[in-house]
């Protein structure tokens, strides 16, 4: 859960940056190339948060299955 929470905080920080860069682009303060370059880390943060959340869900479901007597094999 801690990993997911950390990624969610990172994504929140990136979300602020995304709004800032979008505004700068819309006002013509930065070029399209610069805007695209700055949004890549934002997309990466969103992906990493999603993967951490999926990992958390998978682990909790595995724990529930083990508690119910299911033997997990790989």
pLDDT digits (tens, 9 = 90+) for 15-69: 777 888 889 999 999 999 998 888 888 888 888 888 988 999 998 998 898 888 8
Residue that wins the pLDDT comparison between 50 and 11: 50
**How far is 24 from 33, CA to CA, in rounded Å?**
13
Give a yes or no: residue 37 inside a domain.
yes
The whole model's pTM is what?
0.60
Number of domains comprising the chain? 1
Domain hosting residue 8, numbered range: 2-67
Q: How many residues does the chain have?
A: 74
Residue with tokens 């007597």: 69
pLDDT at residue 2 above 80?
no
Give a yes or no: residue 73 inside a domain.
no
Give a yes or no: residue 53 inside a domain.
yes
What DSSP letter does each residue of 7-69 carry, written as one string? HHHHHHHHHHHHHHHHHHHHTTSS-HHHHHHHHHHHHHHHHHHHHHHHHHHHHHHHHHHHHTT
Give a yes or no: residue 41 inside a domain.
yes
């Amino acid at each position: 859960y801690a990993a997911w929470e950390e990624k969610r905080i990172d994504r929140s920080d990136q979300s602020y940056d995304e709004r800032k860069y979008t505004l700068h682009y819309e006002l013509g303060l930065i070029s399209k190339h610069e805007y695209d370059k700055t949004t890549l880390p934002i997309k990466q943060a969103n992906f990493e948060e999603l993967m951490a959340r999926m990992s958390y869900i998978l682990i909790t479901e595995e724990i529930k299955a083990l508690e119910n007597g299911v033997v997990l094999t790989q």
